[in-house]
Amino acid sequence: MNMKRLAATAVIFAATGFAPALAQTVVNIGHGVQTGHPTHIGLLKLAELVKERTDGKVVIQVYPDRQLGEEREMVEGLQLGTVEMTVVSTGPVVNFVPEAGVLDLPFLFENSAHAYKVFDGDIGKELLAKFDGADMVGLAIWENGWRHLSAKKAVEKPSDLSGMKLRTMQNPVHMRAFEALGASPIPMAWGEVFTSLGQGVIDGQENPITIFYTNSLWEVQSHIALTGHVYGPHMVLASKSVWESWPEEVRTAVLEALPDATAFQRSESLRLETEQAELLRERGVNIAKIDTTPFREKAQAVYSSFDFDPALLERIRAVAAE
């Protein structure tokens, strides 16, 4: 057991004086979204379940809103062992596990139920296993939400994106998709987005409703087009070195609580998206349903730009019919 890695873990001896008994382990989890986001709420539920099921012997501390760094920094921290666990978008992840980029292909999933079947089934397990080779442990796939376009003007068709300086994640799949749609993608760390929108450095961005609302983007953006161009996963990850240093009781407690926390997080995502869309309308944001057919047609060019396994794509599509 790596005692340096377990500095936060107190170990006492049982009454026999021979077998060590776990007293308390503190698990630190960082993420990049606000406290009103379903991922933060889901992590609080995970902490509650783990504490309850271990009689307080495992305590999860949640650090929201990039307190442990931007998403890429937290992923790098996992590899170094300086960050224990995190929940991040696929934006920075594809730089470490390229295979995860398949989830970012535009219009890949038909609906949320389709995505859940993929994530919770064999395909999701196979993708999560890929993180082992990058010194991380892939634990679960949560929901960031369906990504939509926002701008200072209405967007109804791909030609409306012509020349638009659009913030994207630092994700090559997303960037190529918006190039195909006619925009000028600008990869940017999330902490710079609000100010850049306000100053006109960028014209628009794309994110789920919950991100738009919890970051008060209505102050700098007046229109949302419900493109639903990408389903946004949130990856629940652990540092491999830290994970392996924890006592088995800690790993088991987290693994056993994750399915319930995952279901709760997804249900909160749906609830909050519906509620927050109405709140945005009350704040004067124009949220428009649009015909996504021309966006779908143009975005298909992205599929041939990346070397994703065709058999995997067919498996993902086939899950929708199961």
Q: Quick check: is 88 in a domain? A: yes
Host domain of residue 99: 10-314
CB atoms inside a 10 Å sphere around CB 300: 12
- Whether the per-residue pLDDT at 316 is higher than 70: the answer is yes
Mean pLDDT along residues 8-29: 56
Q: Quick check: is 1 in a domain? A: no
Q: How far apart are CA 281 and CA 125, in angstroms?
A: 38
At residue 14, the pLDDT reads 34
Q: How far apart are CA 27 and CA 123, in angstroms?
A: 28
For the chain, percent of residues with pLDDT exceeding 70: 93
Q: Quick check: is 3 in a domain? A: no
- Whether the per-residue pLDDT at 17 is higher than 80: the answer is no
Q: How far apart are CA 84 and CA 278, in angstroms?
A: 37
- Whether the per-residue pLDDT at 144 is higher than 70: the answer is yes
Amino acid in position 264: F
Mean pLDDT along residues 99-125: 97
- Whether the per-residue pLDDT at 5 is higher than 90: the answer is no
The torsion angles phi and psi of 195, rounded to 5 degrees, stand at -65, -40
Local confidence band at 22 (pLDDT 50, 70, 90 cut-offs): low
Q: How far apart are CA 102 and CA 309, in angstroms?
A: 9
Local confidence band at 13 (pLDDT 50, 70, 90 cut-offs): very low
Q: Quick check: is 5 in a domain? A: no
Mean pLDDT along residues 158-177: 94
> Angle, nearest 10°, between helix axes 112-120 and 310-319?
120
Structure tokens at 168: 């994207």
DSSP state of 197: H
Q: Quick check: is 322 in a domain? A: no
Tally of domains within the chain = 1
- CATH number of the domain within which 18 lies: 3.40.190.170
Least confident of 4-8, 267-271, 306-310, 317-321: 4-8
Q: Quick check: is 250 in a domain? A: yes
Q: Quick check: is 320 in a domain? A: no
pLDDT tens-digit readout, 228-254: 999 999 999 999 999 999 999 999 999
Q: Quick check: is 42 in a domain? A: yes
Mean pLDDT along residues 265-270: 97
